[in-house]
Every structure is written in structure tokens, then in C-alpha cells.
Amino acid sequence: MPMVAEDTVFSVLYEKFLFWSIIVGIFTFAWLFYAMFRYRASIVPDTTELDHIEVGAFPVDRHNTKVEVLFYVVPTIIVVWLVVLALASNTAVWVIPDEDESFNMEVVGQQWFWEFNYKEEITWQDDPRDSGIDINWGETLTIQHGSSTDNPVNATVTIDGSATEYALSTSLGTTTISDNAFSRFVAATVDVTDSEGNILHTWGHIPINHKLSTALGEHMIVPCDDEVVLTLFSYTNDYSDLNSTYWGVQHSFWLPEWGVKEDLVPGLDGGTIMWFMPDDPGTFDIRCAEYCGMDHSKMVGFVDVVSPINDGVYQNCDTDTGVKKQGDGN
């Protein structure tokens, strides 16, 4: 589902410019049609008040000083106001959020897939109010899932790529798994499924410096209601040798449903910067908006906006703030 963006700076600017364009257009065309009608060829002009025309003298016609001043002052005020509005908004657009107050990660454009490098950890789960399932993982893994026959029956726990299935205690409504204590330094997921294998609820954790890749079918994971800052790079498949003369190709990281895009420039040490703040959970498209070579069509992926768990507290994404989005190139 597309995200609502009526409160973004771009939408506000569009509405204000559109409003004043309509007002100026109505006034301009009204004056144009009035002049066409008033001074049409069939009308004999009144020359009684015209200054006498003399040879060698510049003719002076009637004029209205107040109207002429009005025609100059009013458009000037409108234009200056729109310029100030645009510049102020432009300043807000290009200001990168403070690193300590945002969620930071790197996006690397490879040939030909996206790689997501996490500079901060994130823990999340689906909304317990929707699924009726709540997962807590500390010294033990506790899954609250209800006790009716319609409730889930299995949980697949994946730790550092290794998956283990557990049968849930449907009679008790709560299952405790004590095989592994939670570790913030290891990637882990818990998928709760029904008897047919359909995923009903997901809990996940991504540690610092963990990497996800669209080449493996993985999605980029970002939190809702948080300023997400992406540093974008373009490298070859093997970018360990930074002394290589071949750095890769030009990409353009594009989130079409949010209307935000930024180029990835090969050899640019600091990369380029993009930031946005999504407000609704869901899955959204990632595309490359720059033709990048033979397998350009493979530069596709998805971003999952999730509800994070901060300090053990689930943060739901109920507030519809609109997608705040910006981009910046260094």
C-alpha cells in the first residue's frame, strides 16, 4: 500500500504554488479578455483626452499610476513570498538529521544487486494486536499465542542462519523455549506459522554490521516513525581492494512509492546521502532509476517498514505523520 504523504514539504509547496498559480492565472486571463473586448477593432477610440501630438515630441497617453504600481507591487510580493517559502523548505530538505537521533545504515549498489549494511541494531515484530501473538526473547524465548484450535502450531527460530522448528503448546496458549538466550550480536528471526505453514507473526533482530542482500532474496528492514539515513555507495562485486582503478557503475537508489531517489557515484569516498521517515508498516519497492549495465533489470528489491522494539517496549506505528523524505548528495 502506498504511504500517505500529504504532510511532506513537497506536498505543501505543490499546494501553495498551485493555489497562487491559479489565482494569478485567473487575474491575468480576466485582464486579457477585458482588454480584448474593451479595445476590439470595432470600437472607435476616444481621442478627446489624448495629448496633442507634435512633431519631434514624444507622445503621452493616458495612464493610471495606481493601477501600474499595483501591477508591479502585487506580483513582486507574491514572487518574493514564494521564493522565501521555497528556500526555507529547501533548507529543511537538505539538512541531514543528527546521527545520534536517526537510524543509520549503508546501501551499496553492486553489479547487480543491492547490499544493506547495518550501522545500528534493530529489533522488531509484527503488531500483536493484529495477530494475537506476542514474542519476548531474553534469557528464554516466550511466545504468547492463545489456546484455541485456530491459533498457530509451529515456531521456526533462525539464529545466524541456522533454523530450528518448535511445536507450540496450543493447550496452554504460551510456549517457552529455553534452548538459547537472546544475543544482540547475532541475527535472529522467529516465524510463527499455522498448520499449513502460513506465517502469522514475525519477530526479528539485526545486529550492528550485519549485511542483507537482494541477491539472497533479503529485504531492507527499516523502523517506522524514525529518521532513516542512508549512505549510498557504488562498488564492484569485490570492493575489498579500494586501490582498484575500476570502482563500478552509476546507480540510482529509488523508492518510487515515496517519491525519493539518490544517485550512487562510483569512486566517491563519502558516498551520497538520502534520508526519509516512513510512518506506516508495510513492504515497498526498491528500483534502480539509472541504467547500470547488462543486468540492470536485476536491480530490484523491497524495503520492509517495521514496528521496532526499543528497550523491550513495542513501538506501534499508529500515528499517520506522512512520509517525510529528503535527499542530499555530498
* pLDDT per residue as tens, the chain (330 positions): 333 334 455 667 777 788 888 888 898 898 888 878 877 766 666 666 555 656 666 555 556 778 778 888 888 888 888 888 777 666 665 666 677 778 999 999 988 899 999 999 999 999 888 888 899 998 999 998 876 656 678 899 999 889 999 988 877 788 899 888 899 999 999 999 988 888 889 999 999 999 999 999 999 999 988 889 999 998 765 555 555 555 678 899 999 888 888 999 887 878 898 888 888 888 999 999 999 888 899 999 999 999 998 877 777 776 544 445 444 443
For residue 287, which of 323, 259, 308, 307 has the smallest C-alpha distance? Answer: 259
Would you identify the CATH topology of the domain 123-207? Immunoglobulin-like (2.60.40)
Cβ pair 323, 278 in contact under 8 A: yes
pLDDT value of position 120: 92
Q: Note if the bond before 112 is cis, omega within 30 degrees.
A: yes
pTM of the complete model beyond 0.85? no
Q: Which three cell numbers stand for residue 240?
A: 575489498
74-103 burial code (b ≥16 CB/10 A, e <16) = eeeeeeeeeeeeeeebeeebeeebeeeebb
Give the Cα separation of 37 and 43 in Å (integer): 9
CA distance 116 to 288: 15
Residue among 288, 286, 327, 322 nearest 304 (CA): 286
The pLDDT assigned to 113 comes to 92
CATH number of 103-120+209-330, picked from 2.60.40.420, 3.30.390.50, 2.40.240.20, 1.10.10.10: 2.60.40.420
Contact, 158 vs 180, CB < 8 A?
A: no
| pLDDT value of position 325 | 47
What pLDDT shows up at residue 163?
92
Q: CATH 2.60.40.420: which residues of the chain? A: 103-120+209-330
Residue with C-alpha cell 503621452?
Answer: 60
HEC letters along the chain = CCCCCCCCHHHHHHHHHHHHHHHHHHHHHHHHHHHHHHCCCCCCCCCCCCCCCCCCCCCCCCCCHHHHHHHHHHHHHHHHHHHHHHHHHHHHHHCCCCHHHCEEEEEEECCCCEEEEECCCEEEECCHHHHCCEEEECCCEEEECCCCCCCCCEEEEEECCEEEEEECCCCCCEEEECCCCCCCCCCEEEEEECCCCCEEEEEEEECCCCEEEHHHCCCEEEECCCCEEEEEEECCCCCCCCCCCCCCCCEEEEECCCCEEEEECCCCCCCEEEEEECCCCEEEEEEECCCCCCCHHHCEEEEEEECEEECCEECCCCCCCCCEEEEECC
